[in-house]
Amino acid sequence: MSESPLARGTVGVVAHYIFNVVSADPSQRSALLDRAARSLRVAMWGIDSEERHRDALAPGDLVLVYLGAPVLEFIGRAELASAAHDWTPTERQVYPGDSPGGVLLAQVEEWDPPVPIHAVLSGIDSPEAKAEFEAGVVQITAHEYATALSVAAHR
């Protein structure tokens, strides 16, 4: 029997990340939201092979889903159900994007309304995390993750 993520979290094993979706085109808000929402609904998130934290992602890790520039909003959260891997033929048929691999998600929660970054930025100290960043995967602390959840719960 495997250890629950909550039990693992008490000993510091669970990692926390932001999954970031960006577009250079300011008119692409609806396209970004649609792309992210489709991935969340099939419980799959594309992770490119060159992403800095790709090999560290593990089942039980917790993620915030963020629409980066030009939107700057958190739109949900999830738990990782798998490590990053190349999609299997069956997964490739279901995944709505063009990434050749990624992670499977569990306990996906979409936030409506979304949480603007300015509402949580003061509680996020990671040098990688700021309102606008290009990285697709950014590691944050458990406190930073909890700050975003708290703001989401009180909106």
Count of domains in the chain?
1
| Span 97-143, pLDDT tens digits | 889 999 999 999 999 899 988 888 766 666 655 555 667 898 888 98
Cβ(97)–Cβ(47) under 8 Å? no
Tell me whether residue 111 is in a domain.
Answer: yes
Instruction: Summarize pLDDT for 111-123 with one digit per residue, the tens.
Output: 989 998 888 876 6
pLDDT of residue 26 exceeding 80, the answer is no
- Confirm whether 8 is domain-assigned: no
Q: Where are the alpha helices (DSSP H) in the chain?
A: 5-9, 29-41, 89-94, 142-153
Q: Is the pLDDT assigned to residue 7 strictly greater than 50?
A: no
16 and 140 in contact (C-beta within 8 Å)?
yes
- 6 inside domain: no
CB burial of residue 46 (10 Å; 0-12, 13-18, 19+): buried
Phi, psi (rounded to 5 degrees) for 135: -60, 140
Token pair listed for 23: 């577009």
- Residue closest to 120 by CA, chosen among 86, 155, 88: 155
69 lies in which domain range?
A: 17-153
Cα–Cα distance measured from residue 46 to residue 36, given in angstroms and rounded to the nearest whole number: 10
Residues making up the chain, counted from first to last: 155
Helix (H, G, I), strand (E, B) or coil at 99: coil
Q: Is residue 32 part of a domain?
A: yes
CATH number for the domain that contains residue 64: 3.10.590.10
Pair 54, 84: CB distance under 8 Å:
yes
**Per-residue pLDDT reduced to its tens digit, 28-58:** 778 888 889 999 999 999 999 999 899 999 9
